[in-house]
Amino acid sequence: MYSRETMDHFLKPRNVGQVDGGPQGEAQNPDCGDTVRISLRVEAGQVAEARFRSQGCSGAIAASSAATVLLTGKTLDEAASLGAEAIEALLGGLPPAKHGCAEMAAAAARAAVAQARAASG
């Protein structure tokens, strides 16, 4: 059973889309094949905007939405440490079988941050 917060992020996902030309990271959930791409707009070493595109289940969409919320406003150093636990906490938890959704979103977020760091210097 999904929490109210998870259902809210699934039914009304935040930050859907893509930042054109920005750093991006992709990840796939090996358990089911869900995918996510997270793209960023970085200004002065801080994530000014984070967007996602995901193909997958409700858990994948909710976790991707939550990841973008957590990334926005963070420094690249802070964003580099985004983990599945923070995503699950924002969502009020995920069923154990959906933990891979949060792992996937966190991996895509960290990959986008790594690309942003590489581009900056």
Any idea which residues carry the catalytic annotation? 32, 101
CA distance 65 to 73: 15
Lateral strand order in the sheet of 24-28:
24-28, 35-43, 46-55
